[in-house]
């Protein structure tokens, strides 16, 4: 089995969580099997910080996004409960890249766009 297959197979979503604030590790499990996440957050303090990341389940997000004011991950409750696992996984990878940008002090969104 390839690392890619293991990443998706072991990725689990806690779909029954109520709206509100949760830790990333409460919402998603199996992230340690993702080669992409291990590469992106290869520094040990960064990976530990990722596990403690605040996630808000809220109607203020269409799907999933990072709030640029505080770097918090926002997830739409309908998307979390009904979205395809593969789509949520890929969306999460994309948004975690923005979180790493935020932690590095870089702009999340280009103001010229």
What are the structural domains of the chain? 3-103 (3.30.2010)
Distance of CA 51 to the CA centre of its chain: 10
| pLDDT tens profile 32-86 | 889 998 888 887 667 778 888 999 999 999 999 999 889 999 999 999 999 999 9
3-state secondary structure (DSSP) of residue 66: strand
pLDDT at 13 over 90: yes
pLDDT at 95 over 70: yes
The CA-atom distances, in angstroms, between 85 and each of 21, 61, 93 are 21, 18, 12
Q: Quick one: pLDDT at residue 3?
A: 56
Q: Quick one: pLDDT at residue 32?
A: 85
Q: Quick one: pLDDT at residue 103?
A: 87
């Amino acid at each position: 089995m390839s690392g890619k297959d293991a990443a998706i197979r072991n990725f689990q979503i806690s779909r029954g969580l109520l709206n509100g604030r949760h830790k990333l590790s409460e919402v998603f499990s199996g992230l340690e099997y993702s080669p992409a996440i291990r590469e992106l957050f290869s520094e040990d303090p960064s990976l530990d910080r990722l596990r403690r990341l605040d996630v808000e389940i809220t109607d203020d997000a269409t799907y999933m996004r990072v709030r640029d004011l505080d770097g918090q991950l926002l997830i739409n409750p309908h998307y979390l409960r009904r979205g395809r696992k593969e789509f949520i996984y890929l969306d999460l990878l994309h948004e975690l890249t923005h979180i790493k940008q935020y932690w590095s002090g870089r702009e999340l969104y280009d103001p010229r766009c």
